[in-house]
Amino acid sequence: MDNANIAFFLGAYQNSIISALDKMRRDNIIARIWAKDYTVWKPAPDEITNRLGWLDAPAETLEKINYIRATLEPFTNGSINDVALLGMGGSSLAAEVFNKIFGSAAGHPQLHIMDTTDPVLISQLTQRLDLENTFFLVSSKSGTTLEITSLFHYFYNLTLEKIGSSAGSHFILITDEGSPMIKTAQELSLRHTFLNNPTIGGRYSALSMPGIIPAAIIGVDVEILLLTAITAAQREKVDNFSGELAATGAVLGAILGTLAQRSRNKITFIMSPQWAPLGDWLEQLIAESTGKEGKGILPVLDEPLADPRFYSQDRVFVFFQDGVDDNSQKVAGLVAAGHPVITVRPNDRYDLGSQMFLWEMATAVAGHLLGINPFAQPDVETTKSHTRRTIALCREHKELPSELPSLTTPECVIYGGPKAITFAGALKSFLSEAAKDDYVCLQVYLSPTPEVDEALQSLREKIFAKYGLAVTIGYGPRYLHSTGQLHKGDSGNGLFVQLTADDLLDIKIPDRIGVADSTLTFGALKAAQAQGDWQALKDAGRRIIRFHFRANPATGLKKISELL
């Protein structure tokens, strides 16, 4: 089925999807979504009625665009070299997409995204920045996110040390009304505070302040971006919903939800190079929204496309195309093998606004079909709770609590998993527990390097070749704000391989603004987050094994791949 710039190849599932769309029409679902009727998802309004502001976000943000541009003029007139965004999850992913797809226009600063607690990456950025000519965007919906407050303390104190009492003029805050950071901003005389609509959830905030402000800073024509989103929103209105297949988010959501109900719950994205940056944003939107109550749709990114016969009957494929590569034969092969396929061909880069709204609507509709609340994240707090407890013990005892290893080898120390006598054997035994429709998640708490990335991709390919399992890769703590909810909230068909190592260097986190005292380092925080998620996964009954590399992690990963 081909309509506008989206084509659907649904095979044996088409009749079921048409039935789902017809039921949505009869139940008046689209009109009820626009009326912000919480009963579309749940019988109670909790974490729904206060999370539907995304429906109006493009129009609301466009109304504020003159205010945004006037406030940002000092940073977009060619006088500033660098802007660093301190944010996590929904506060950083949209900005990263805009940055990678559009880049900085002439005369606009370079944007650096800092969404990690890895001390090596923090040190690298610190060395690159000229603090006298750098401005910081501190983006936090709640104003209490541990990673963001830690990064804020660190970079504010560095700037204070470098330029003195005018440090506050180098910081802009993006937060919600009622955030505790507003008081901090007033006390420190920060340059400006942007208040976002509190009824817009983090992962649905791309077309509001957290996404549009960084985009405007680097010179994106945000008016066009928002207008394409508004056009997409109009296509989602009830007058345009016929209950038939069409190129809308409502239809896309019905497809994804219906396929997930039939165990096609792994959405595999094949992205053209131009559109690849959108993948990480889609991953958070879909995974964190749908992974709960024993259900979930798992996004699979950056996986090399294999012969169709090697895939289990748990996949749906989405091709993002830009006219450069002809994927028609690949699509035809997958369709012939019985796999549902969706192709998306955006018009140009500014169609990104349209795509973002379309996928937000699709995710909300898929949540309706699955009977879940796509705006809540009930299992995220579990990891945070364990992390806080680990940090408290670290501060009390001056070291992280230790675990008993299951195996110690020259290459690494292994925790959990089945008994084994070699570290490759431990992974083989662990993966042999997998069922046909399970998936493997590599949870990476290593400092990213090209060598580590290459080794991870090689390991993923070997696991797929040997076991036929979908393999996802997530760097921590970034994935905790993206796929972490799904890992603990889905049906439990994930096998989690946590990869850690000692940091090559460490950085102290100031306990308070303007004070050098420190009782925690970024390295300890990252390790505590790994331990916190380990415990949260164990509490949820998930299968997990941890490899702590004693030497070069890239070398260790390569050896595992070779032995597999």
Task: Cis check for the bond before 214: say yes or no (omega within 30 of 0).
Answer: no
| pLDDT higher than threshold 60 for residue 1 | no
- Cα of first residue to Cα of last residue in the chain, in angstroms, is 41
**Contact status, residue 236 vs residue 250, Cβ threshold 8 Å:** yes
Instruction: Determine the 3-state secondary structure of 502 from DSSP.
Output: coil
CATH number of 77-218: 3.40.50.10490
The per-residue pLDDT for 3 is 42
What are φ and ψ of residue 75, in 5° steps? -100, -5
Q: Which residues, in sequence order, are bridge partners of residue 113?
A: 85
Which runs of consecutive H residues, i.e. helices, occur in 242-379?
249-261, 278-290, 328-336, 352-370
Give the helix, strand, coil percentages of the chain, each rounded to 5: 50, 15, 35
Percent of the chain whose predicted confidence (pLDDT) is above 70: 99
CATH topology of domain 380-563: Rossmann fold (3.40.50)
CA-wise closest residue to 58 among 258, 204, 192: 204
Q: Is the pLDDT of residue 120 over 70?
A: yes
Domains 2-54+243-370 and 77-218 share a fold: yes
List the domain boundaries for the chain.
Answer: 2-54+243-370, 77-218, 380-563
When mean pLDDT is compared over 25-39, 238-252, 396-410, the highest value belongs to 25-39
Question: 270, 318 in Cβ contact below 8 A?
Answer: yes
Report the pLDDT value the prediction gives residue 403, as an integer from 0 to 100: 85
Handedness of CA 164, 166, 170, 172 (dihedral sign): positive
Closest CA to 522 of 126, 140, 171: 126
Say if residue 432's pLDDT is above 50.
yes
CATH of domain 2-54+243-370: 3.40.50
Cβ pair 544, 407 in contact under 8 A:
no
Question: Cβ contacts of residue 547 below 8 Å, gap of 6+?
Answer: 412, 413, 414, 423, 426, 427, 497, 498, 499, 500, 556, 560
Quote the pLDDT of residue 169. Answer: 95
- In this prediction, residue 4 has a pLDDT band, given cuts at 50, 70 and 90, of low
Beta bridge partners of 344: 6, 320
SS3 248: coil
Name the CA radius of gyration of the chain, rounded.
Answer: 23
Give φ, ψ of 218 to 5 degrees: -90, 5
Distances (CA, A) of 238 to 59, 159, 244, 479: 18, 51, 13, 35
**Mean pLDDT of the 97-114 span:** 97
Query: What whole-number distance in Å separates Cα of residue 470 and Cα of residue 299?
Result: 10
306: tokens are 């294999």
Residue 281 has pLDDT above 60, yes or no: yes
